[in-house]
Amino acid sequence: MEEHKLLTLKELCNLLHLKPGSVYALVHYKRIPFIKLSDKCLRFRLSDIESWLSSKTVQPMQSQPVQGPKRPRGRPPKKPTLRP
């Protein structure tokens, strides 16, 4: 029964540590699963939120040495000047 639990906005904000405005923005842009019971009533199914969070998880890559971009050392060569 817990997986079908519907969360209120306040409960979701506490779960995700987000402000209500941030959740409303996610809802507005349809970036989070939600249930619209009426024009003024939103709910969030716990199982949908858990799946959504899982899809947002980034897996770490295998440890590899990090190499930055190679830049030439020293001063750049002077441009030749053309004299008449």
The pLDDT assigned to 60 comes to 85
pLDDT of 62:
80
Fold topology of 2-55:
Arc Repressor Mutant, subunit A (1.10.10)
Mean pLDDT calculated for residue range 50-54: 95
Burial label, 12 (beta-carbon count in 10 A; 0-12, 13-18, 19+) = buried
Indicate if the pLDDT at residue 64 is higher than 80.
no
Distance, CA of 79 to CA of 84 (rounded, Å)? 16
Mean pLDDT calculated for residue range 69-82: 74
Q: What is the mean pLDDT of the chain?
A: 88
pLDDT in tens, 11-28: 999 999 999 999 999 999
Domain-by-domain residue ranges, the chain?
A: 2-55
For the cut 60, the answer to whether the pLDDT of residue 68 exceeds it is yes
Tokens standing for residue 74: 């020293």
Angle at 77 between CA 72 and CA 78, to 5 degrees: 155
